[in-house]
Structure 1
Amino acid sequence: MIGEGVIGGLFSRRKAQDVAVEAAALRSDRFRQTREGDWQRLEAIITRIERGRLRSLSDEDLLALPVLYRGAVSALAIARETSLDAALVAYLEGLARRAWFVVYGPREGLGAWMRRFFGGGWSAAVRGLGLDILIALAVMVLGTVIGWLMVAHDVDWFASMMGGMADDVRVPGASRAALHGTLFGQQGQTGLSVFAAFLFSNNAQVTLMAFALGFAFGLPTLLVLIHNTTGLGALLWLYHGQGLLLDLIGWLAIHGTTELFAILLAGAAGLHIGRAMAFPGDRRVVDAAAQAGRRAAQVMVGVVLMLVVAALLEGFGRQLVNTTATRLVIGGVMLALWCAYFFAFGRGKRA
């Protein structure tokens, strides 16, 4: 009798489990039947987009895409909460994941982004900083003039402006021969490479600071530009005193037309954000800064590339080319190319 009771209890529990499984399967089937049409439509839309056939979609499908996506996510939440069968949950997870990338994921690959960026997006963003570029250029010219006049009045200013490196012969009172030697005939010496690396590192820091400090309403950006160019003015004064001004300009021109242009754009980008925050108009300050920041960030991506180009010109071109005329030609060509790209190329595009 006891054995029969145990067997009967096991049979009852087995039967109850079977009933529960059948009920769960019935709920899963009903759940699927009422929503399967929307899932299949969503999957068809996603498949077309993934295969690059976006243009073949109708307006109705495009408008329905976000609604179908939200419906699939909601169905997935219900399926998980009510413990529907694992196969259905896995299907909905995969469908929701694919739909998320279509609705919220990146719209273009790296190749498409680069084509858009170099095909006019970067130059359009630079043109959008027109007023800021003029302000930054005026400040840099002013800083150069101030540096020249200050050391001309008191040579003690030279050391504080230039900083200098150990054993640097470029100091007030240096002979013409010593200064001439820093510009020519040093292709085989490592000192020039060290100095080139120092200049690149310094100007990269100046570039980043000029941009980053723009969030303080642009005022620190102006100070950074002035401080950086006073050293340039002091150096020009030094070589002018020994009749080597044109040779120095040629020495600087190979990389300087690119590197100084990059600093100019970085300063303009910082000023653009600072002006937007100081004068937001009818927008909130946060919204004005965000809008200006998107344009400035696009400019800064290009500025980083310009610094890389300047580093290559500085590390190789200036040491391989040993005549002032050729250096001036290379620097002039680079300046003309940058100006043509920024202010003439892709004028029909907007940033």
Structure 2
Amino acid sequence: MNAISASASPDTPINAIEIAALRSDRFRIEREADWQRLEAIVVRMEKGRLRRISDEDLLALPGLYRTVASSLSIARETSLDAATLAYLEALVQRAWFVVYGPRSSLAEWLGSFLGGGWSAAVRAIWLDIVVALAVMVAGVAVGWLLVSHDPEWYFSLMSRDMAGARVPGATAQALRATLFGEQERDGLSVFAAQLFSNNAQVSILAFALGFAFGIPTLLLLIHNLALLGAMAWLYHGAGLLTDFAGWICVHGTTELFAILLAGAAGLHIGRALAFPGDRPILEAAAVAGRRAAVVMTGVVLMLVVAALLEGFARQLVDNTFGRFAIGGFMLMLWCAYFFAFRGNARTGTRR
């Protein structure tokens, strides 16, 4: 009797292994039906055979996913056999993509984004756009007034390397040469490349700094547009303001619009943090952040378009009227898309 008891003692290595295997088998047998049912549904959905899935299985899918996820949690805690654990981990991962994963391809997402999602997000932050626009106009006025009272302010706003021949005291002929004759140059001029790089950085920073209640975003917009105001003053003094406006207009209506939207997106987040309303601060910030992220995705696209216009259109079109025509067309195109076009953010079709 003692021998039998000793051989049956649960402390022996052989019995410990047998008990663990029995526990694993029992665990699998009790839940295997749900695992197999979920796997069958996942396989059909992965293969695109949605019509072969019954309504009962579709309704049961979320519950089955939670059941299998719970089984995986128990399996990890009780240290079941490695094969069962690996099977459950793979099944839960596949099921997650079926239940919670993206439902559309890249082409479908792009169609939805351009077909209404982006414009809807821009319209939703209209108040922030108005504020950002007012600040940008004020920035231009500030730059003009500063350099008109003291030309030394010009070099506080723009580095001498970036300015090149565009400096106070330059002759009208020298300034005119910076606006025309660029079709004979290859690629972007040094100044154009620097200006685009600066504006791209401003767009990203204006959005990123919005979390500080939007204050750094406002200051950044004022500083960046003050540079434009200083340059406008410089060309105005040489009687070339209209030509300078045409030079800027080719890409500026797109590039400055992108800065405007980036600044507005940053302000939108800052405003949600400062004035969350009835929502908790984190929830208000999350909602505003998702909407602002959609706007910023489009801002990147606009900056790419601006780079193409700056690199080719402005240098191929060497007259002020043509430049105004291109810039004006782009401005009307953006305004029509954002404020006149009404699309469906889910399907990308007009309503």
**TM-score normalized by the length of structure 2:** 0.85
Distance 1:167 1:148 in 2: 16
Q: 1:268 to 1:80 in 2, by over 3 A?
A: closer
Aligned-pair CA distance for 1:142: 1.4
Question: Whose Rg is larger?
Answer: 1
Structure 1 residue 287 displacement after superposition = 1.5
Q: TM-score, normalised by structure 1?
A: 0.85
- Say which of 326, 329, 333 aligns to 1:330: 326
Structure 1 window deviating more from structure 2 (100-109 vs 204-213): it is 100-109
| Residues 1:202 and 2:165 are matched in the alignment | no
Distance across 2 between alignment mates of 1:141 and 1:231: 12
Q: Distance in 2 between matches of 1:22 and 1:116?
A: 57
State the Cα distance separating 1:36 from its structure 2 match: 2.9
CA distance in structure 1 between the partners assigned to 2:163 and 2:63 by the alignment: 71
Match of 1:112 among 102, 108, 117: 108
- The CA deviation at 1:160 is 1.5
For 1:263, the equivalent position in structure 2 comes to 259
Instruction: Please list, as runs of the form range in 1=range in 2, the aligned pairs for 1:1-351 lying within 5 A after superposition.
Output: 30-54=26-50, 57=53, 60-76=56-72, 88-165=84-161, 168-189=164-185, 193-349=189-345
Q: Deviations over 1:23-57 (max 9, x none)?
A: 87776665444323222221222123223355765
The worse-fitting range, judged by mean Cα deviation, of 97-106 and 251-260 is: 97-106
- Structure 1: which 5+ residue stretches go unaligned? 1-11
Measured after TM superposition, the shift of residue 22 of structure 1 is 8.4
Number of residue pairs aligned between Structure 1 and Structure 2:
338
Separation of aligned partners in 2, 1:177 and 1:139: 33
8 A contact 2:148–2:233 mirrored in 1: yes
Q: Percent identity, please.
A: 69
Higher mean alpha-carbon deviation, 56-65 vs 109-118, is at 56-65
Q: Which piece of structure 1 moves more, 77-86 or 323-332?
A: 77-86
Distance 1:256 1:114 in 2: 25
Q: In structure 2, what is the equivalent of residue 9 of structure 1?
A: none
The CA deviation string for residues 129-186 of structure 1, in whole angstroms up to 9 with x for no partner, is: 1011111111111111222222222222222223332671211221111111001113
Alpha-carbon RMSD across the aligned residues, in angstroms, is 3.0
- Name the SS for the 2:184 alignment partner: coil
Moved more, 148-157 or 262-271: 148-157
- Please list every run of 5 or more consecutive structure 2 residues that lacks an aligned counterpart in the other structure: 1-6
Q: Is the 8 A contact 2:187 2:312 kept in 1?
A: no
- In structure 1, how many angstroms separate the alpha carbons of the residues matched to 2:102 and 2:163? 53
Contact 2:68 2:88 in 1 (8 A): yes
Deviations 1:97-136 (A, max 9, x none): 3212223433333222212211211111111110111111
C-alpha change, 1:22 and 1:218, in structure 2 (3 Å) is closer
Q: 1:87 to 1:250 in 2, by over 3 A?
A: same
Per-residue CA deviations over 1:74-98 (Å, capped at 9, x if unaligned) read 4345556767666555543432232
